[in-house]
Amino acid sequence: MPDMTGPKIHPVILCGGAGTRLWPTSRRNQPKQFAMVIDGYSLFQHAIRMVDAEAFAAPVVVTGADQRFRVMEQMGRIERAPGVIIVEPDARNTAPAVLSAALHLHSVDSDALMLVLPSDHRIPDGEGFRAAVAAAADRAAAGDLVTFGIRPVRPETGYGYLELSDPSAMAAGVPQSLVRFVEKPDAIKAQAMVDAGRHLWNAGIFLMSVRAVIAAYGAHAPDILAAVDDAVAEARTEGGFLLLGKRGWLQATSISVDFAIMEKASNLAVMPYNGAWSDLGDWASVWRDGGPDDEGNLLVGDSLAFDCRDSMIRSEVPDQMVVGLDLDQMVVVATNDAVLVAPRTSSQRLSMVVNELRKRERAEADRGRRDHRPWGWYESVAVREGFQVKQIVVSPHQALSLQSHNHRAEHWIILSGNARITIDDGIQDIGAGGYVFIPLGAIHRLENVTDEPVVMVEVQIGNYLGEDDIIRYSDRYARVEAV
């Protein structure tokens, strides 16, 4: 890797997408960047690990309120610490997100360089990518907005393109001048651009100084600059997070950084990157990236294929066998609450499917059965009229909030670990095989004061079982609302 002797580069990890084209694995409560799509690490963890090098400062992560604890939990698993986690009050696309990070970094170091990375892309060659970043650093420090382009290996209609002046620029080891952005093309145009040899895929990765970023917003998106500047000025630190001010943030236009400033800026350069890259934007790309076998099949989990060709069969439920027979170019994905069966070439149309499920008010559109919380996770095992059964796992040294319910009572059965349980004025320690009853309206809490997880079954009984039937009195994760 080239020597990078200047100030450290600040990675900015954008972590707010929902990834509907990887439904049913990816949902709003489990976006694809946090899912173990390829191997033992999530895409988000891969992004963090890729910039865990001497040339980089601790990463700035920009995420939503629903995912902030997931960010902390996944970073903790790989023993990495963020520089700051910026929490958006509402999803506003990438333009406000990038600017919020730039304004924060400017307040810390007005000469800082920032490397903007989506959290849901896969770049297997971390060393090669870091070398490309190093090669672009001088141009970024000089004031250019450097975008990274990927050499295309096939015609692709799901990506935007960057046009360079001539084919020789495609293999250059330093940033090149950009002729123009090209929006996502149809199949014929995509093939023509690949054949011409002057177009790179637009990766949505940028290296630039915070001064240049803020100046670009001032020139091309002053309304967004004013709104986000207000949100950053109103930000407060709470529980390890930088919570942006809601009033200003909601005034910001929801728009991508490409449309807001990049396609209007004159100080733009392109850094060609010829290594492997994928945005894993649909199941076809997961199949391709996962390394199909000699018959073109990718089998994941408890799955088998008989006389199948060029297909993916994926079971995400332990001990649930999924079998394919005589499949050709198909995708089969089975989770514990939904099954997808589709031609591999149709996987980019899943956004339409998710939208239809939302119209039908199906919970499967956006929520899987497992929900992650700052203290661990729970999974709905059965939901029927008047009762719900959950498996709950509380991580070591974590605790549920002190809370009560207006509409339900609860039965807790401890399966493993040791739990400290508060019910009104009483506190008791209960181990595996123990049981307690939480009456309607009782103030209660479960704490794990040990080094091992607590696993329990919760049976809720009542006329309303929604997650909003919680009154919190105290909470170590700052989730108490005024009552």
Angle between helices 94-108 and 222-233 (to 10 degrees): 60
Q: Is residue 53 part of a domain?
A: yes
Are residues 247 and 107 part of one domain? yes
3-state class (DSSP) for residue 29: coil
Q: What is the pLDDT of residues 79-128, one digit of tens each?
A: 999 999 999 999 999 999 999 999 999 999 999 999 999 998 889 899 99
Are residues 340 and 407 part of one domain? no
Q: Is residue 182 part of a domain?
A: yes
Residue carrying the six token digits 């332990």: 318
From 219, 238, 273, the end of a domain falls on: 273
Q: Is residue 482 part of a domain?
A: no
CA distance 265 to 263: 6
Q: What is the pLDDT of residues 148-198, one digit of tens each?
A: 999 998 888 888 899 998 888 888 889 998 888 888 888 899 999 999 888
CA distance 121 to 35: 12
Are residues 325 and 188 part of one domain? no
Residue carrying the six token digits 């009195």: 473
- The pLDDT assigned to 37 comes to 62
CA distance 40 to 7: 33
Closest residue by Cα to residue 372 from 117, 15, 30: 30
> Residue 211 to residues 4, 61, 232: CA-CA distances in angstroms?
20, 19, 16
CA distance 232 to 430: 45
Strand-strand pairing, 298-300 and 312-315: parallel
Are residues 317 and 186 part of one domain? no
- The pLDDT assigned to 482 comes to 42
Whole-prediction pTM value?
A: 0.86
Are residues 423 and 315 part of one domain? no
Contact criterion met (CB below 8 Å) for 474 and 444: no
Are residues 245 and 387 part of one domain? no
Are residues 376 and 345 part of one domain? no
Are residues 235 and 178 part of one domain? yes
Give the domain range for residue 458.
370-474
Structural domains in the chain (count)? 3
Are residues 470 and 391 part of one domain? yes
Q: Is residue 359 part of a domain?
A: no
CA distance 159 to 162: 10
- The pLDDT assigned to 32 comes to 85
Number of CB atoms found within 10 A of residue 482's CB: 3
By CB atoms closer than 10 A (0-12, 13-18, 19+), residue 127 is: exposed
Q: Is residue 341 part of a domain?
A: yes
Q: Is residue 479 part of a domain?
A: no
Are residues 28 and 157 part of one domain? yes
Classify residue 33 by its DSSP letter. Answer: G
- The pLDDT assigned to 5 comes to 53
Are residues 62 and 199 part of one domain? yes
Q: Sign of the C-alpha dihedral, residues 169, 175, 178, 184?
A: positive
- What CATH number is attached to the domain comprising 449? 2.60.120.10
CA distance 209 to 88: 22
Are residues 261 and 159 part of one domain? yes
Amino acid letter, 256? S
- Ranges of residues in the chain whose predicted pLDDT is under 70: 1-6, 18-19, 36-39, 481-483
Q: Is residue 279 part of a domain?
A: no
Q: Is residue 248 part of a domain?
A: yes
